[in-house]
C-alpha cells in the first residue's frame, strides 16, 4: 500500500510539472490534466509501442498532440 501511495505522489508531482506554464481555462484545464494523466500511464505507452507498433518518438508525438488538442 505504501509503494502505491508513493507512485501516486510521484505521478501527481509529474502532472504539476507538466501543467506548469499552461493556462487553459476551466474545462480545457480539466481536459489537459486528464490527457497528461493518460500520457503518464504506463499502459498507454505499452499500448502505443508494443501493441500498436509505434516507436517511442512516435508515441511521444501522439501523446503531445493529444495534450495540445485537449487544450483547445
Query: How is the chain split into domains, by residue range?
Result: 2-70
pLDDT of residue 3: 64
Q: Is the dihedral of CA 9, 42, 54, 28 positive or negative?
A: negative
Q: Is the pLDDT of residue 58 over 90?
A: yes
Q: Which residues contact 38 (CB under 8 A, 6 or more apart)?
A: 44, 63, 66
Rg (alpha carbons) of the chain, rounded to whole number: 13
The reported pTM is: 0.78
Distance CA 72, CA 50 (A): 29
pLDDT confidence tier of residue 4, bands split at 50, 70 and 90: low
pLDDT of residue 27: 79
Q: pLDDT for 15-38, tens place per residue?
A: 888 888 776 677 788 899 899 999
Tell which wins on pLDDT, 21 or 41: 41
Amino acid at each position: 500500500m505504501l509503494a502505491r501511495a508513493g507512485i501516486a505522489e510521484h505521478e501527481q508531482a509529474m502532472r504539476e510539472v507538466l501543467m506548469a506554464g499552461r493556462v487553459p481555462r476551466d474545462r480545457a484545464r480539466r481536459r489537459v490534466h486528464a490527457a497528461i494523466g493518460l500520457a503518464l500511464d504506463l499502459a498507454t505507452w505499452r499500448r502505443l509501442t508494443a501493441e500498436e507498433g509505434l516507436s517511442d518518438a512516435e508515441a511521444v508525438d501522439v501523446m503531445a498532440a493529444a495534450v495540445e488538442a485537449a487544450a483547445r
